[in-house]
Structure 1
């Protein structure tokens, strides 16, 4: 496993990050989740990503349990705050109250005194950016957070945060952005990536396999294979079906000869492609079985040449989405996510 700097910060992260969205505490049983984390550690993965909202906190608890006994300094733990964690009016967003309370709750669930990276899971236009940034800065000064990041923010939102942090004289700034990014979904390339490159912000690219679509296991005209996310319960099928379509699935199958020539599985090809892109510090993978972790981790260190990258582009053609206005669309929550819960009369 190779490591890269997270943006221009001094923090080194493994080229592959193990994440537990839609798996731990939801689709994957406890023992399988623990086995996946052990497989990640065995593969040399040192960076782990979760969020307070995943499985209503159970994902953080399982990750903390899985890492128990591992030397804390040998791993990098990232979590997030913003999305609703309860029904109260302040159980969401990026207010000082919710940021501080959620951080403390995450630390308890993870069983650690600090997280290496704390990320704003979404942008909150109902809270002044200055309030959020000062709360984050206070957590850094208290030693509870080492580095700061955002997820699915637009270039304008990141720019505004950097400007306000500078105006306030905050010493701790954003060093990471976590966007959805893969061969098919490249909406961060026109605006977000150039800004991040200029400002030294590294990408933690999630869904490099496009919810498994780029592994080639979903075939046009066929039902999803048994045991796949698209055939499972919970929320996973809803997310996956957004990117399923016979034309797309047919073209994805055309990537198989390219992967074969490179001596890679289709999953490894997709992850290696992501790691080849500008400003990407790490590719974030999830898994329901330890063997998936082992296979995908071997994409670290693979270097795809320019000719192969061009063949991928030619194969996918106009199926690639590059519209910058869709930066957060695929993972956007409902427009009223930040609306406070109804207050009881009296």
Structure 2
């Protein structure tokens, strides 16, 4: 199968020359977990046929089965490796109760974990290897040097971070600069209408200083922003099938904060339908995708139709006028506040910060 972009927009991944599709496919919870066998092939083929050539996974996803399923399907579909962007992540390991060095960001686990990922994927390399979490028990120099060693071996072309603080990302860049090494090019972070402070405020200096890009996960707030949980938990939904999410959804419906979120989703649903002729899910995805610091939005899917439904966000992006965006901000009421020096007059709108 040869790749056809099918009108998919592309962006550079952070400061690198790697071009990634605005929407990519992720394996968390679904591929190798709730979805196995031929249905995985149907999802990946549908994504690929519609311009998605980037697939994201991790060693910990479904205890390694996500990587195994993805690798198998890519071979069965006879997809050209050069047409694909494959990313995976190391930190958690994939064995419960393994040895102390089967996880974390020691040089040992970064190298051995990457090798194991490649074996499960049946690949010689991944395009990007992510540090799935920070590890404050390992010196940053060791972490940066280990990922550079992986790159020098040709097992990955770039490395990146996931759910690191701005301070930790900054330290990694300082170490890389000091020793002439390669720093992280992207951050895989949670970013959605209800989770904004870190990606929109904390990382703000990093976007300007390092041209950091984000590969966004949970853009739909684990499905909450689809609107399907407004009146309870539908059978077969993610919150009904994933045990660790059940308590979260129960809390959502029983707390004032949770009820306020559901109220906001109902208002967003009405706005999406009445003013944009779309779904709340497509609106939420378009809202994240229009952010200039977003390199790609990772989509989860349990079936091919979900891929197609989510890609309707591409039609919504041009419709997000300043007036619509202002209405969204009023509904959400959670715009991160810009920090200004105390007791100093604000700079005017033309000033460069």
Cα distance, 1:241–1:178 mapped onto 2, change above 3 Å: farther
Cα distance, 1:124–1:242 mapped onto 2, change above 3 Å: farther
Highest Rg: 1 or 2?
A: 2
> 2:201–2:336: 8 Å Cα contact kept in structure 1?
no
Q: Deviations over 1:5-50 (max 9, x none)?
A: 1112100001001001111222223222222111111111011100
Which residue among 27, 33, 37 is the counterpart of 1:30? Answer: 37
Does residue 175 of structure 1 match 2:188?
A: no
Give 2:327's aligned residue. 311
Does residue 248 of structure 1 match 2:255?
A: no
Q: For structure 2, which runs of at least 5 residues remain unmatched after alignment?
A: 1-7, 340-353
Cα distance, 1:193–1:64 mapped onto 2, change above 3 Å: farther
Does residue 226 of structure 1 match 2:235?
A: yes
**SS of the residue 1:190 aligns to:** helix
Give 1:64's aligned residue. 71
CA distance in 1, matches of 2:83, 2:251: 37
**SS of the residue 2:314 aligns to:** coil
Give 1:123's aligned residue. 134
**SS of the residue 2:158 aligns to:** strand
Q: 1:240 offset after TM fit, Å? A: 5.2
Which residue among 179, 184, 196 is the counterpart of 2:194? Answer: 184
Give 2:216's aligned residue. 205
Cα distance, 1:268–1:77 mapped onto 2, change above 3 Å: same
Does residue 284 of structure 1 match 2:305?
A: no
Aligned length: 320
Which residue among 54, 68, 83 is the counterpart of 1:74? Answer: 83
> 1:186–1:322: 8 Å Cα contact kept in structure 2?
no
Which residue among 261, 271, 275 is the counterpart of 2:285? Answer: 271
Give 1:8's aligned residue. 15
Does residue 259 of structure 1 match 2:275?
A: no
Which residue among 121, 124, 136 is the counterpart of 2:147? Answer: 136
CA distance in 2, matches of 1:239, 1:31: 31
**SS of the residue 2:102 aligns to:** coil
CA distance in 2, matches of 1:264, 1:6: 28
**SS of the residue 1:223 aligns to:** coil
Cα distance, 1:164–1:238 mapped onto 2, change above 3 Å: farther
Q: 1:322 offset after TM fit, Å? A: 7.8
CA distance in 1, matches of 2:338, 2:191: 13
> 1:268–1:299: 8 Å Cα contact kept in structure 2?
yes
Give 1:329's aligned residue. none
Cα distance, 1:98–1:242 mapped onto 2, change above 3 Å: farther
**SS of the residue 1:97 aligns to:** helix
Q: 1:149 offset after TM fit, Å? A: 0.5
CA distance in 1, matches of 2:44, 2:225: 23
CA distance in 1, matches of 2:36, 2:111: 30
> 2:215–2:296: 8 Å Cα contact kept in structure 1?
yes
Which residue among 163, 170, 191 is the counterpart of 2:174? Answer: 163
CA distance in 1, matches of 2:337, 2:151: 35
Q: For structure 1, which runs of at least 5 residues remain unmatched after alignment?
A: 325-346
> 1:24–1:30: 8 Å Cα contact kept in structure 2?
no
RMSD between aligned residues: 1.9
Q: 1:243 offset after TM fit, Å? A: 5.4
CA distance in 1, matches of 2:333, 2:292: 20
Q: 1:307 offset after TM fit, Å? A: 1.6
**SS of the residue 2:233 aligns to:** coil
> 2:93–2:113: 8 Å Cα contact kept in structure 1?
no
